């Protein structure tokens, strides 16, 4: 059995049979592409992942970045990989031709990012951040900023970052205090500290371009006084040479996992000479930054699913090879032991992992397709896709992140004692995957974002669009007798979700905000389960369609595996919505009323 | 705020107000003791834990055991701690006076083991294993074996282990192949390999006494041909001196966590001179070993709860100190941020942890009380307590182990990015606690043990006794108006558990064993939730009783905190039984029918 970390057949199934990647070529932005280009891109990603990323995955964990003489040294593969990503056009892949991009669909490129992340999550972060930071300049920066920064970033010579968090301002960005003072010379002087900044210094690139939030002197308090700046590690002189920009690394964090990427503490302006260049208009920084934050959130979700995918493949391989015990039906001393995958409980554990991995990946790709459509479809449709994307982002980030932990943990469990030891990769996946419910907004923050903002925005329009998407999927699935019971289960869960929402909204309208949002995390969990069930029903429908064509044995096996995984999700996971619904409709103020000194 | 790892007030509450430790002194075995002795013992344990164990907790993780010149070196604290445990009578605490013990209740000593494990889980394992191994010799060994081994073990000079697992025989002990050949000279020659053996060699003691399963040449196949041997690292000559016993360490495992304790691979009889001494009768080994396995299972459950306890205390401390954001009801730019414990979602996260920790601890102590009673109560009662203990052991091991992972993970989440970094202890707790669903029988094995063996044994007598215990608790709680709704919820869940059991049993009787046990893990989860709810109702009842006495403010706060945690469990956790019940009654063969090549 090959040492796989993704299910290649599943990627093609999701891209083409479920999400119809080809349909995007009907839009002018993508019209130059076809199935052949798409396949070529995916194959190249798979080859890079196998050859360069997976082979260094353990080594990067065992030799994490180190901080020597004020600079950060990373694994030598980082320089090679950034160059390869630059040369291969991976960083600019979705950007328009006129900026050096290839106008490829995000749906496809995200599948490739998933492949990279499954092979080596830490490594995948370097080009991903660079791409997001460059596209932020592309969207809101001046022509001068675009010209000065984007080409080197797209070529992988310069690293991009997002620099938001400060010691006193993590979840609460309103409280950032990094200062920007106007100089009248086309730049601001930046002073302050940032913490937990990924890839903010390393020797795999020539320069690092931080997309940084700061407060212009005299700006209003709170989120409405935050501006966005380009703050390079080295600034560019007229002659093109690079000089230090008074931006110092104060230290690196020693992390549980995700060790191949440096997370640093930054200090700006210790010598009053750190220059920042304003992106767009003053005080609009947080609004701009949401572009990168929202993109990165989807990538975090896909990254969690990717690690869970690699863990699943390692687990399933072990379970097919390791023999232990006998089938319970034929237990008899002396009979030979069976591979543990024969045990029902082990199959259940594997189905759980697969349901999480492939359900999460499908939801992530669904969001990417909405993202593509929101940029290319005619205006009224575009708005619809934009709303769906905004509504689904908290779940597409959080469901894989939270469930990814459980999925990897179940993978580790499949290996018993070996799963706990570093001879096998499960223990690393278990450490790596734990970051995802934390970075790019904790689960609690996303719960509040979903219920407090997304569900109620524009009078509930987004939720209504979501309902219609699900109803369409349910109607189509009902044509297939085997799927009818599952379509009904989804329908019932959707109805329950809407009822729960209806019961909560009056709390908001009557000003009881705290009670309204007290269990927003549970609401997000509920919403995530329904969204994943929808994705599984879409997958089931695609399978049943193909099974009617009498496919050859390997294809038959693939579709059957899919259908059983779908069934697993509906029988074991979706029913969890009932307990959540029950709790969400109690609104008894248990956690809002409880005095903190009782804890 | 002090750096605590256990809630001392809670320990006294559980020991005295819930489980009535004092009542045990009515039995002759414990009649010499009183509340004063008990308090002294607990206070000493707390002091040892604070002074020696907690202070070395990080250092033992960072300096794990190493394998040098064929021997295992451990942290220097191990030698000191073993001596302290020997001198202080901790290893022999529950043993009878005539063997040098103190005849203390297991209920009390387990609370102390919990304290040790919360302070430093790895360290707590050394004396615990020694105690279990010595008591196994005590129960089944000859007078000669007792005399030769128990005193040095009780004194902490010799380490005890349980040596079961082999490369091809982990969950399936029936398949062990280590051989024992009778010599006619009072010993057997042992040959074979053992893996994953905790504390099986280290320089903190003079000798290691392995309680080892092996197969006497010509023994029947399967579990009925397994015998128990004492296989020392060094054997004792007539003159009392120690000589090597041809038992070699083949290597150490590098583990995700639990790094303060060495887990080794053993090779016996490479030079055909490894002597083993039969314990009890031939072929009875597995039956004997169950004494130590069952004791250790409870200790594993308590150990998981203990790590979760330490993580909870670190999290609650952080949440009271860290400020971030504003109360949602009074959100306003410019107002000062509040300690994050003020946020409803953070309180929910803390209540979850507390519900798991204190519910699990209570269940573990309940089992220990049954264990004490099964050895001291009049015969007919003793059998009842023995059956309850056997029935509850799988849940008392598994619920804390599985939920401990989630509890610690939630604690880590409370710290955000800091939780992921090694400046704070959460990341270590997260690694340490992951071992518990694996060692001493995986969760899957315990599911099968509960449903396939314990529930059906003696015509369901144990389950019936369990039902009666819960009904008693429900009846008592119903006197308190505030508890009535919770008593009703427990009653309903119990009824559902019995219904589900009734629906499953016919599958067994009709020989469909595989289908009967396919979701045994879910059954165990269901059972665990009901058992923990019962323990919370008992705790709630004890609180309401005391609240009627108008206690002073700090006591009032303690009881209120307890009651809110109880409410949390009933509102957020117990409802999960519904989804489990639904699945358990489907019996559709999803996992038994699925072909393995579809995965």
Q: How far is Cα B502 from Cα B508, in angstroms, rounded to an integer?
A: 11
Are the Cβ atoms of B434 and A412 closer than 8 angstroms? yes
Nearest CA in chain A to B195: A417
Smallest Cα distance from A256 to chain B, Å:
6
C-alpha distance from residue A440 to each of A213, B132, B330, B417 (Å) = 15, 47, 25, 10
CB contact under 8 A, A590 and B571: yes
Partner residues linked to B277 by β-bridges: B230
**A517 with B351: Cβ contact below 8 A:** no
Q: Which residue of A has its CA nearest to B561?
A: A598
- Cβ of A576 within 8 Å of Cβ of B579? The answer is yes
Residue ranges of chain A whose pLDDT lies below 50: 1
- Give the minimum alpha-carbon distance from A5 to chain B in angstroms, rounded to a whole number: 14
> Which residues of B are less than 8 Å from A220 in CB distance?
333
Instruction: Give the other-Cβ count within 10 Å of A506's Cβ.
Output: 11
Options B440, B488, B495, B555, the catalytic residue? B440
Minimal Cβ distance to A344: which of B195, B564, B591: B591
Answer whether B157's CB lies under 8 Å from B86's CB.
yes
pLDDT of residue B333: 59
pLDDT, residue B251, reads 94
Tokens (6 digits) for B54:
């907690």
Residues of B in contact with A196 (CB under 8 A): 417
ipTM score over 0.95, yes or no = yes
CB contacts of B599 in chain A (<8 Å) are 316, 341, 347, 350-351, 354, 561
Residues on chain B touching A409 (C-beta within 8 angstroms): 405, 434
**Tokens standing for residue B348:** 């929910």
Contact between A437 and B578 using a beta-carbon 8 Å cutoff: no
Of B168, B334, B561, the CB nearest to A221: B334
Contact assessment for residue B6 and residue B114, using Cβ atoms and an 8 Å cutoff: yes
Whether B334 and A575 lie within 8 Å, measured CB to CB? no
Beta carbons of A202 and A159 less than 8 angstroms apart: yes
Shortest alpha-carbon distance between residue A288 and chain B (Å): 20
**Mutation test of the interface with chain B: which of A309, A325, A332, A556, choosing the one with the most B Cβ atoms within 10 A?**
A325
- On chain B, the residues whose CB falls within 8 A of the CB of A326 are 172
* B223, B257, B345 ranked by CB distance to A447: nearest: B345
State the nearest Cα–Cα gap between A583 and chain B, in angstroms: 6
CB contact under 8 A, B447 and A345: yes
Which residue numbers in chain B have pLDDT < 70?
A: 1-2, 330-333
Angstrom distance (rounded) from CA B199 to CA B211: 12
pLDDT digits (tens, 9 = 90+) for A265-315: 999 999 999 999 999 999 999 999 999 999 999 999 999 999 999 999 999
Flag if B348 and A427 touch (Cβ within 8 Å): no
The token duo for A398 is 């959080």
Given this model, what pLDDT does residue A240 score? 87
* Closest-CA distance of chain B to residue A485, Å: 14
What's the gap in Å between the CA of A270 and the closest CA on chain B?
Answer: 25
Could you say which of B325, B518, B557 has the minimum Cβ distance to residue A172?
B325
Tell me if B337 and A437 make a contact (CB, 8 A cut-off): no
Q: Which residues of B touch A316 (CB under 8 A)?
A: 599
Query: Do A136 and A294 touch, CB atoms closer than 8 A?
Result: no
**Closest chain B residue to the Cα of A523, Cα to Cα:** B345
Contacts of B347 in chain A (CB under 8 A): 591, 594, 596, 599
Torsion over CA: B211, B215, B220, B223 (sign) = positive
Closest Cβ–Cβ partner in B258, B345, B518 for A344: B518
The pLDDT of residue B329 is 75
A557/B597 touch (CB, cutoff 8 Å), yes or no? yes
Across the interface, whether the CB atoms of B345 and A518 are under 8 A apart is answered yes
DSSP labels for A138-150?
HHHS-HHHHHHHH
Taking an 8 Å cut-off on Cβ atoms, the answer to whether A520 and B345 are in contact is yes
Residue A6 has what DSSP assignment? S
| Spans of all domains in chain A | 447-587
CB-closest option in A222, A331, A579 to B333: A222
Joined together, the tokens standing for residue B103 give 């005849």
Yes or no: say if A379 and A315 are a contact pair by the CB < 8 Å rule. Answer: no
Q: Of B118, B113, B107, B149, nearest to B128 (Cα)? A: B113
Residue A325 CA to residue A413 CA, distance in Å, equals 16
* Exposed e or buried b per residue across B23-58, where buried means at least 16 C-beta atoms within 10 angstroms of its C-beta: ebbeeebbeebeeeebeebbeebbebbbebbbebbe
Nearest to A596 among B325, B341, B520 (CB): B341
Main-chain dihedrals φ then ψ at residue B32, nearest 5 degrees: -75, -15
**Three-point CA angle A30, A34, A37, nearest 5°:** 100
Q: How buried is residue A111: exposed, middle or buried, by Cβ count under 10 Å (0-12/13-18/19+)?
A: buried
Per-position DSSP letters for B376-427, written without gaps between them = HS-HHHHHHHHHHHHHHHHHHHHHHHHHHHHHHHHHHHHTGGGGGBTTSTHH
Work out the percent of chain A whose per-residue pLDDT is above 70.
99
Residues of B with Cβ-Cβ distance to A561 under 8 angstroms: 598-599
CB contact under 8 A, B521 and A316: no
Q: For chain B, percent helix, then strand, then coil, each to nearest 5? A: 60, 10, 25
Q: What residues of B are in contact with residue A567 (Cβ under 8 Å)?
A: 590
Q: How far is B93 from chain A (nearest CA, A)?
A: 31
Contact A443 B413 (CB under 8 A): yes
Helix (H, G, I), strand (E, B) or coil at A216: strand
Residue with tokens 């639990």: B258
Which residues from B are below 8 Å from A596, CB to CB? 320, 339, 341-342, 347
A599–B560 CB contact, under 8 Å: no
For A445, the closest chain B residue by CA position comes to B345
Which residue out of A138, A155, A166, A440 is catalytically annotated?
Answer: A440
Taking an 8 Å cut-off on Cβ atoms, the answer to whether B421 and A588 are in contact is no
Give the model's pLDDT for residue B1. 38
B521 and A345 in contact by Cβ < 8 A?
A: yes
Our answer to whether residue B578 is catalytic in this structure is no
Q: Is B288 left (phi over 0), alpha (psi -120 to 50) or beta?
A: alpha
Which of B253, B8, B294 has its CA nearest to residue B136?
B294
Question: Cα–Cα distance between A462 and A527 in angstroms, integer?
Answer: 13
- Residues composing chain B: 599
Residues from chain A contacting residue B572 (CB–CB below 8 Å)? 522, 583
CA nearest to A438 within chain B: B416
Residue A1: its pLDDT value, please?
38
Chain B hits for A173, CB-CB cut-off 8 Å, are none
Q: What is the pLDDT of residue B70?
A: 87
Per-residue b or e along A112-150, where b marks 16 or more CB atoms closer than 10 Å to that residue's CB: bbbbbbbbbbbbbbbbbbbbbbbbbbbebbeeebbebbb
pLDDT value of position A332: 65
Residue A320 CA to residue B553 CA, distance in Å, equals 60
Comparing CB atoms, the residue among A416, A568, A579 nearest residue B438 is A416
């Amino acid at each position: 059995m090959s040492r796989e970390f993704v299910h290649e057949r599943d990627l093609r199934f999701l891209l083409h049979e479920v999400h119809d990647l080809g349909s995007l070529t009907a839009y002018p932005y993508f019209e130059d592409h076809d199935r052949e280009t798409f396949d070529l891109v995916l194959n190249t990603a798979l080859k890079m992942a196998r050859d360069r990323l997976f082979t260094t995955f353990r080594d990067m964990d065992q030799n994490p970045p180190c901080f020597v003489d004020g600079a950060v040294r990373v694994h030598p593969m980082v320089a090679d990989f950034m160059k390869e990503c630059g040369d291969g056009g991976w960083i600019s892949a979705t950007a328009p031709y006129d900026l050096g991009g290839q106008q490829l669909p995000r749906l496809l490129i995200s599948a490739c990012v998933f492949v990279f992340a499954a092979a080596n999550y830490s490594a995948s972060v370097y080009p991903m951040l660079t791409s997001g930071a460059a596209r932020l300049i592309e969207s809101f920066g001046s022509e001068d900023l675009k010209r000065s920064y984007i080409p080197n970033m797209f070529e992988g010579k310069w690293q991009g970052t997002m620099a938001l968090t400060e010691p006193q301002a993590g979840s609460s960005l309103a409280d950032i205090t990094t200062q920007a003072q106007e100089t009248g010379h086309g730049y601001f002087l930046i002073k302050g500290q940032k913490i937990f900044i990924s890839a903010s210094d390393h020797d795999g690139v020539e320069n690092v371009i931080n997309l940084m939030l700061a407060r212009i002197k005299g700006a209003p308090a709170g989120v409405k006084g935050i501006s966005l700046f380009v703050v390079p590690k080295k600034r560019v002189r007229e002659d093109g040479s690079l000089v230090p920009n008074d931006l110092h690394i104060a230290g690196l964090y020693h992390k549980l996992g995700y060790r191949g990427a440096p997370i640093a503490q930054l200090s700006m302006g210790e010598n009053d000479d750190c220059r920042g260049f304003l992106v767009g208009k003053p005080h609009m920084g947080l609004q701009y930054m949401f572009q990168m934050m929202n993109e990165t959130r989807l990538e975090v979700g896909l990254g969690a699913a990717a690690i869970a995918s690699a863990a699943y493949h390692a687990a399933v391989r072990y379970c097919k090879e390791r023999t232990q015990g006998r089938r319970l039906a034929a237990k008899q001393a002396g009979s030979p032991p069976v591979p543990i995958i024969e045990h029902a409980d082990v199959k259940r554990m594997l189905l759980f992992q697969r349901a999480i991995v492939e359900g999460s990946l499908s939801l992530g790709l669904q969001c990417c397709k909405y993202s593509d459509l929101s940029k290319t479809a005619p205006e009224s449709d575009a708005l619809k896709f934009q709303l769906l994307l905004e509504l689904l982002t908290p779940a597409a980030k959080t469901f894989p992140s939270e469930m990814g932990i459980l999925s990897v943990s179940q993978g580790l469990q499949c290996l018993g004692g070996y799963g706990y030891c570093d001879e096998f990769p499960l223990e690393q996946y278990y450490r790596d995957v734990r970051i995802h419910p934390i970075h790019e907004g904790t689960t609690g923050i996303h719960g509040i974002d979903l219920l407090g903002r997304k569900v109620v925005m524009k009078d509930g329009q987004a939720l209504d669009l979501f309902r219609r998407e699900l109803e369409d999927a349910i109607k189509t699935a009902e044509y297939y007798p085997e799927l009818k019971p599952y379509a009904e289960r989804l329908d019932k869960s959707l109805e329950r979700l809407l009822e729960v929402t209806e019961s909560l909204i009056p709390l908001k309208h009557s000003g009881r905000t705290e009670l309204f949002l007290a269990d927003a995390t549970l609401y997000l969990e509920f919403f995530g389960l329904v969204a994943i069930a929808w994705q599984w029903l879409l997958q089931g429908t695609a399978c049943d369609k193909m099974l009617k064509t009498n496919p050859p044995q390997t294809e038959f096996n693939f579709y059957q595996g899919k259908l059983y995984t779908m069934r697993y999700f509906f029988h074991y996971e979706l029913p969890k919505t009932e307990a959540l619904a029950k709790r969400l409709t109690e609104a008894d103020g248990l956690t809002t009323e409880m005095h903190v000194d009782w804890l």
